[in-house]
Amino acid sequence: MSAPSVIINLDSKLGAGFLGNLIAGIFYGITCVQTYIYFTRNGKDTTQFRILILFLWLLDTLHLALVTHGLYYYLVSNYGNLLALAFPTWSFLVQVYITCISDLIIRGVFGRRVWLMAGKSKIIAAGITTTSLLTFITGFAFATRAFAVKAFVNSSQISHFLYISLGSGVVADTFIAGSLCHSLAKSRTGFRKTDSLVNVLMVYAINTCLLTTVCSTACFITYTVWPNEFTFIGIYFSLSKLFFNSLLATLNSRESLSEKISGISDISMSDILPQEPCTSPVLWRPAVLVNINREVVEDYEQGRTEKGGQRLAIAS
């Protein structure tokens, strides 16, 4: 009697991993272009910060190499060996470490900007640090324990680490974006033109964390629904690349953002002076001239919110 055949859905395993690697490769191409633009157009950043960006690019390159190696292992080296699909290859687990390290650094960059914009608030610092470190530690714990449990079928024993890591990652990104928007909202002056600048910066803050939050949520849902498939892994491949691209897009958009708001750099006196003469010393006060120049935008994007003792150049 012949042994019963085992049917394995390759679409949700190798197919999902292949598509995830393909999308990750596309994002890596965008990352390379963004990195080139950064190093050719952002000469004002400190040497240490530029080295940090280079290090993140190297991590991103290593991440794609590990993912590609993992798929090569399943698709080429073990072609036709369905038993190999039951066990995660080492490169798939190591790429989790790379993702955790890269995401922690990038959250640190964004978190520092929020911390400075919020006046070095200890509550903001504690919230960002706690959620970011929780994501990092549980992600590391998941990959480390995965080496011990070996088979995918036993991943339920360590699934709580991945749930906490992805969930805290969503909380961290939401907290960073929300805190930055709150700090910007408190900078409103009441003047339409300057408030429109605040609105633009708030949109940039939300867009920074939007895609990464959606990606983390998608990983969380697909792992909950299909824990033994590669669907969540395919999505997870793109997480670190979305993070790095968000950071590079933020840095590279500083000049275009400055040009976009150049029309409101100087608010004319006619916008804020009363239309009718007023002689009452109580009802009238000297007009406030709000000058928001390009340096303010650059400081916002890098977290350098204090230059020459001022957050915004306001003269009264």
Is position 28 within any domain? yes
- Residue 82's Cα: distance from chain center in Å? 36
pLDDT tens profile 274-312:
444 444 444 333 333 333 334 444 445 455 434 444 443
Query: Do residues 312 and 296 touch, judged by C-beta distance below 8 A?
Result: yes
| Euclidean distance between CA atoms 123 and 43, whole angstroms | 33
Q: Exposed, middle or buried, 97 (CB in 10 Å: 0-12/13-18/19+)? A: middle
Residue 81: give the domain boundaries.
Answer: 11-260
Q: How confident is the model at residue 316, as a pLDDT?
A: 31
245 Cβ contact partners less than 8 Å away, ≥ 6 residues apart = 27, 30, 31, 34
Nearest to 254 by CA among 286, 302, 190, 216: 302
User: Mean pLDDT across the stretch 189-206?
Assistant: 70
What is the total count of domains within the chain? 1
Q: What is the DSSP letter of 153?
A: G
State the number of CA atoms in the 13 A half-sphere of 36 facing the CB: 6
CATH of the domain at 116: 1.20.1070
Does pTM top 0.75 for this prediction? Answer: yes
Confidence check: pLDDT of 265 > 80: no
Q: How confident is the model at residue 296, as a pLDDT?
A: 42
pLDDT tens profile 139-170:
999 999 998 887 877 777 888 998 999 889 88
44 Cβ contact partners less than 8 Å away, ≥ 6 residues apart = 298
Confidence check: pLDDT of 135 > 90: yes
Confidence check: pLDDT of 199 > 70: yes
Is position 6 within any domain? no
Is position 205 within any domain? yes
- In the structure, what pLDDT confidence band is assigned to residue 190 with cuts at 50, 70 and 90? low
